[in-house]
Structure formats: C-alpha cells, structure tokens
Structure 1
Amino acid sequence: MTAHLGLATAEVLLASWPNLHGDWTAVVHPTLHEVMGLHTAMSIATDALHLANHLATR
C-alpha cells in the first residue's frame, strides 16, 4: 500500500507500506491525519504569500 499526494505539477509519495495486509486502518489513519495537517499548513502559507505579494505591490 502507498499514499500519494497529487500536486499541480507532480505526484509525491507520502508513505509506503510494502508488507501491509489485513486491517490497515490503524496504520494509515495517522498518515491521513498528518496529510490533512500538511494541507492546512500549505493553505495558510499560500495565503500568507499572496498577502505578502499584495502588500509588496502597494
């Protein structure tokens, strides 16, 4: 099993569990939680960059 993050210009491998069998929810769920946190952080950083660019052009 692998987890990928699809970006506009590439797809990034987040995690890989080559020997994962059976009930994998306890293993994968924390990774999904981390990805959601990463998405939130990237969204905030993007908004901050847009604001900084806007203020720099004033």
Structure 2
Amino acid sequence: MRPTPVCSNTAQPCFTWQSAELLQGNKRVHIAHNGGVYQLQATRQGKLILTK
C-alpha cells in the first residue's frame, strides 16, 4: 500500500491514500492517533465517516 504523492504549494509533503487501501474490503477500520482511537466507516451511500 503506497500513497500517491500530491504536489501542492506547501513545504510539507502531502500524500493521497485510496479509501479502498485503508479499508481493505471492510466497512470500518480503527486508526490510532495521538493516544486516541478513531473509527473510519464507509456508508452505504459511498461516504466516509470519521469518529472518535
């Protein structure tokens, strides 16, 4: 799973991840960030919801 580099005007590098790569066939995944756990969920309408 490799992110696609995205060019922008910022000094920091930015990458684009495909949601299918993150979800890997699942409807939801958990993401650990700064000591917290977040849930990324794909809806039936094809939208994404990120909750803590």
The normalised TM-score by structure 2 is 0.22
The answer to which structure has the higher helix fraction is: 1
The normalised TM-score by structure 1 is 0.20
Structure ID, larger Rg:
1
